[in-house]
């Protein structure tokens, strides 16, 4: 792809060549300065970095070697100023007249997101959702292989799903320790989620993706991401109602305070993700 102008802040060529050279020599060793930058990255920017990585991977598959900030921002659905700010957190500023080197930027983002490390995923709850997650090919292709499956139903014990035999939840601690599971996915009903979470933590799992409609209690050193589809639907409902309100106002009508939208959930601004009920 061609570059469409200034991809450098302040008109300087600040390409982060020191970090880049060290990364090329030893991709699994983080540069100290890069580690410090990673700690300072806002969570919203981390989410956007994951989007940039997906877009860049697509460019790489198409043999695109360089991309401008405008092109990358448009493909990622953000403005170019925000993209340049996000990439500055990882020490990448691009080169004037050239833009960003796709392969180098992919490497920088992967290191920042911890994707150069080995991950192992366990899914607990092999209902419809858990079954779909276990068979999802996007996990291993992006560095998150599913290595363990668990369910409470004894009839599922030993049954292969996605090529992996299901184990009973009683085996969570032992299996997670044995297979060095780093990420646990909870796809159980609400009433069993906390117990499952406790077992995962006891098995050494430090990051949990929670699809159960419940807030989990975990130690401070365990990260939990909650996925709530119902909340996302309510947020979309709010936006639909707001557009209807705007259209009615433009036509001289007044529908009142977002009539038909229903109550806007208090957690709308704080929840990032969705929850799918098993």
Both 108 and 127 in a single domain?
Answer: no
Is there a binding annotation on residue 127? Answer: yes
Q: Would residue 97 be called left, alpha or beta, if left means φ above 0 and alpha means ψ between -120 and 50 degrees?
A: left
Q: What is the pLDDT of residue 114?
A: 78
Is the pLDDT at 240 greater than 50, yes or no?
yes
Is there a binding annotation on residue 18? Answer: no
Both 88 and 164 in a single domain?
Answer: no
Is there a binding annotation on residue 129? Answer: yes
Q: What is the pLDDT of residue 141?
A: 72
| Structural domain count of the chain | 3
What's the predicted TM-score (pTM) here? 0.62
Q: What is the pLDDT of residue 251?
A: 79
Percentage above 70 pLDDT, the chain: 76
Is the pLDDT at 267 greater than 90, yes or no?
no
Q: Is the residue at 239 inside a domain?
A: yes
Q: Give residue 15's domain range.
A: 9-112
Contact 99, 69 (CB under 8 A): yes
Is there a binding annotation on residue 210? Answer: no
Q: Which two tokens stand for residue 241?
A: 């109602």
Write out pLDDT tens, residues 100-110: 999 999 888 88
Residue ending a domain, choose from 226, 242, 257 = 226
Both 73 and 131 in a single domain?
Answer: no
Tokens 């180098």 map to which residue? Answer: 104
Q: How confident is the model at residue 111 (pLDDT cuts 50, 70, 90)?
A: confident
Please state, rounded to an integer, the average pLDDT across all residues of the chain: 80
Is the pLDDT at 31 greater than 50, yes or no?
no
Q: Is the residue at 274 inside a domain?
A: no
Is there a binding annotation on residue 79? Answer: no
Average pLDDT over residues 211-234: 90
Average pLDDT over residues 221-244: 89
For residues 55 and 47, give the distance between their C-alpha atoms in angstroms, rounded to a whole number: 13
Q: Is the residue at 275 inside a domain?
A: no
Q: Is the residue at 142 inside a domain?
A: yes
Is there a binding annotation on residue 236? Answer: no
For residues 158 and 164, give the distance between their C-alpha atoms in angstroms, rounded to a whole number: 9
Is the pLDDT at 61 greater than 70, yes or no?
yes
User: Lowest-confidence range among 2-11, 56-65, 161-170, 197-206?
Assistant: 2-11
């Amino acid at each position: 792809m061609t570059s469409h102008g200034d991809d450098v802040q302040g008109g300087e060529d600040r390409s982060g060549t020191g970090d880049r050279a060290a990364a090329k020599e030893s991709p699994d060793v983080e540069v100290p300065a890069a580690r410090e930058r990673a700690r300072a990255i806002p969570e919203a920017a981390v989410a956007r970095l994951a989007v940039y990585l997906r877009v860049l991977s697509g460019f790489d598959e198409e043999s695109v070697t360089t991309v401008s900030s405008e092109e990358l921002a448009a493909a990622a659905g953000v403005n170019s100023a925000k993209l340049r700010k996000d990439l500055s957190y990882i020490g990448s500023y691009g080169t004037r007249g050239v833009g960003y080197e796709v392969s180098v930027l992919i490497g920088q983002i992967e290191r920042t997101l911890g994707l150069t490390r080995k991950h192992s995923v366990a899914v607990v709850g092999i209902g419809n959702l858990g079954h779909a997650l276990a068979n999802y090919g996007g996990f291993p292709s992006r560095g998150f292989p599913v290595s363990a499956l668990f369910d409470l139903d004894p009839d599922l014990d030993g049954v292969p799903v996605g090529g992996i035999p299901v184990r009973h939840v009683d085996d969570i601690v032992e299996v997670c320790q044995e297979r060095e599971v780093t990420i646990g996915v909870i796809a159980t009903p609400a009433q069993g989620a906390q117990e499952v979470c406790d077992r995962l933590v006891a098995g050494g799992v430090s990051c949990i993706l929670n699809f159960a409609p419940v807030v989990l209690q975990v130690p401070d050193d365990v990260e939990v991401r909650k996925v709530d589809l119902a909340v996302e639907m309510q947020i979309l409902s709010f936006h639909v109602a707001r557009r209807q309100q705007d259209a009615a106002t433009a036509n001289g009508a007044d529908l009142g305070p977002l009539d038909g939208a229903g109550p806007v959930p208090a957690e709308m601004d704080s929840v990032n993700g969705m929850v799918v009920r098993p």
